[in-house]
Chain A
């Protein structure tokens, strides 16, 4: 497992983004998948920082842990903030509402869901842990099958 630890503040988003892009490239994700994964981690980390820490009057770190195996890239986002399960955030269901009336909530988690193949949450030892799993491209296999 590779790990990045940063303070739970919005200023850390830039470093988190650069780290995720590098890991995604190491895992062979294409440009689009890399952008989406960066977006997913940004959205979830932003929620941790904003709701978990800042608005709860807490401070702490955010850990981004990554692992690449033959099939998957796995990204864990861990924090020690208030218990918060992003998988319970309802997705927006109001795509037809005029723009100025769209509610603001739920967009970030929705974008995160679209980027990944699996999205789970665990509460472990006083930590929140979001688990993202992305299937790696099977380009090599396709070449063999032809």
Chain B
């Protein structure tokens, strides 16, 4: 399924909703939203993954990029990620660096 990323900015967070399949052909779409979100210097980036079906290392690279944008004091939330995506985050040691939740209340 074609990958989409849409950004909503609130007072406290930049919320990017991901859907479809994130492979290297789609990573630029995600990075563009991260860049847009970063313009407001958010303390928190929330990545909504309930509709994300698949994520390759392209997604991991984008996470590194997102974390660089929020800085070491900022937080990245991973919300509603499917099992395969969570397993990838755990296997590569990314899980401790992000906040993993099933839901998020804006």
Residues of A within 8 A of B (CB): 10-11, 13-14, 17, 32, 35-36, 38-39, 42-43, 46, 49-50, 92, 95-96, 98-100, 102, 104, 107-108, 110-111, 114
Contact = CB atoms under 8 A, between A and B. Distances in A.
A111 B25 contact: no
Interface string B64-83: 10011001100010000001
Interface centre among B56, B68, B92, B97 (most CB of A within 10 A): B56
Top 4 A-B residue pairs of the complex, sorted by shortest distance between their CB atoms: A95-B93, A99-B97, A10-B25, A35-B84
27 contacts: A10-B23, A10-B25, A11-B25, A14-B21, A14-B23, A14-B25, A35-B83, A35-B84, A35-B87, A38-B54, A39-B56, A39-B88, A42-B56, A46-B58, A50-B24, A92-B92, A95-B92, A95-B93, A96-B93, A99-B67, A107-B57, A107-B60, A107-B61, A107-B92, A108-B57, A111-B88, A111-B91
Given A13-B23, A32-B83, A42-B23, A100 B64 contact: yes
A117 to B, nearest CB: 16
Contacts of B61: 104, 107
B29 interface: no
A25 to B, nearest CB: 15
A34 to B, nearest CB: 9
B63 interface: yes
B21 A17 contact: yes
Contacts of A32: 83-84, 87
A99 B56 CA distance: 17
A29 B54 CA distance: 17
